[in-house]
Amino acid sequence: MKTLYIFIDESGNFDFSPTGTRQFVLTALTTLAPFDVSSPLLQLRYELLPNYACGPSYAEDGHFHAAEDKQAVRDQVFQRLLKVVESIRVDSVIAQKNKTHPSLQRDHVKFYSVLGEAILKYALNRAKWQGYEHVVLVFSSLFDRKKRGVLKQSFKSLVKSHANVPYSLYFHDARFELGNQAVDYFGWAIYRKWESGDQRSYSIVRYIIKSEFAIFARGSHLYYRYKSDPPDYPAYAGRAQGLLSSGGDVYPQSTSRQDERP
């Protein structure tokens, strides 16, 4: 059976305050060949175990995690992922958190659902592999069981309308899922670029990343200032044009760096 696998991971936090992260990023890695992604990482895992070459974070937790791995490990993970470029597609959705409507700031499941629906539309509509018979969605293990149920329902109709094939949806602990560890690395590179302007890792994999969808790019209303903003930075920059209109409608905003269609 020809199966399309979509691994999704998040970067940033749900702290919608001046001290929280500036961005929240969802990244999707799409492939028909998950073994092409996981096998090189599994091989690297065992190559790094002798003499603690894996570094203290990996030695403690036993899995790849870009934010915690030492740079020497990151470099090797990225090099392995570069070798499977023909087998994967990477898309991302970026939300500037201080442009997020307060109703979504309070409802993290709804916020995640809105971004998740956007990333799935990109992954399903623009996948270069056609004729697949099943879709497998693997999210990082986030939220409790009740909230996961809400997300499953919200994604159910989306998959039906855009893929029109049977699907399976899982929330897996990234420690045991190499596909999620791979997408974590791409997501971290994208997040670092948008959060702090650090493009060292992004520059290595940028040509693999097919789209970066800044979902609130058209918005000019800022609901709060970040702690690091200069004193004269406007807290409210004009009319609200963020995610929600006054009537609560979702704006279909798209400002992708790339929007490649197969």
The answer, as to whether pTM is greater than 0.85, is: no
Asked whether residue 249 is assigned to any structural domain, the reply reads no
Which residue type, as a one-letter code, is found at position 176? Answer: F
In CATH, what number is assigned to the domain containing residue 81? 3.30.420.10
Where b means 16+ CB within 10 Å and e means fewer, 188-200 reads bbbbbbbbeeeee
Q: What is the DSSP letter of 235?
A: S
Residue 234 confidence (pLDDT)? 56
pLDDT value at position 122?
A: 84
Q: pLDDT tens, position by position, for the chain (262 residues)?
A: 899 999 999 999 999 999 999 999 999 999 999 999 999 999 998 888 886 676 666 666 778 888 888 888 888 999 999 998 888 999 999 999 999 999 999 998 889 889 988 998 888 876 667 788 899 999 887 667 777 887 787 787 778 777 778 888 888 888 888 999 999 999 999 999 999 999 999 999 998 899 999 999 888 889 998 877 776 665 444 333 333 322 222 333 343 444 333 3
Residue 219, domain member (yes or no)? no
Is residue 255 included in any domain, yes or no?
no
At 166 the pLDDT is 87
Question: Does 88 reside within a domain?
Answer: yes
Compute the radius of gyration of the chain from its Cα atoms: 19
Residue 127 confidence (pLDDT):
65
In this structure, is residue 126 part of a structural domain? yes
Q: Hey, how many other C-beta atoms are within 10 angstroms of the C-beta on 238?
A: 10
The full length of the chain comes to 262
CA 218 – CA 216 distance, rounded (Å): 6
**Partners of residue 25 on adjacent β-strands:** 11, 94
Residue whose C-alpha is closest to residue 14's, from 118, 111, 155, 144: 111
> Is 221 a domain residue?
no
CB 5 within 8 A of CB 34: yes
Is 29 a member of any domain?
A: yes
| Crossing angle for the helix pair 145-162 and 108-125, to the nearest 10 degrees | 30
Number of domains in the chain: 1
In whole angstroms, give the CA distance from residue 181 to residue 37: 10
Per DSSP bridges, beta strands 209-214 and 3-11 are: unpaired
Q: How many CB atoms lie within 10 A of CB 118?
A: 23
Phi, psi for residue 233 in degrees, rounded to 5: -70, 130
Domain ranges, residue 21: 3-214
Angle formed by the axes of helices 34-48 and 178-196, nearest 10°: 90
Residue labelled with tokens 């009537």:
247
Residue 240 forms part of a structural domain: no
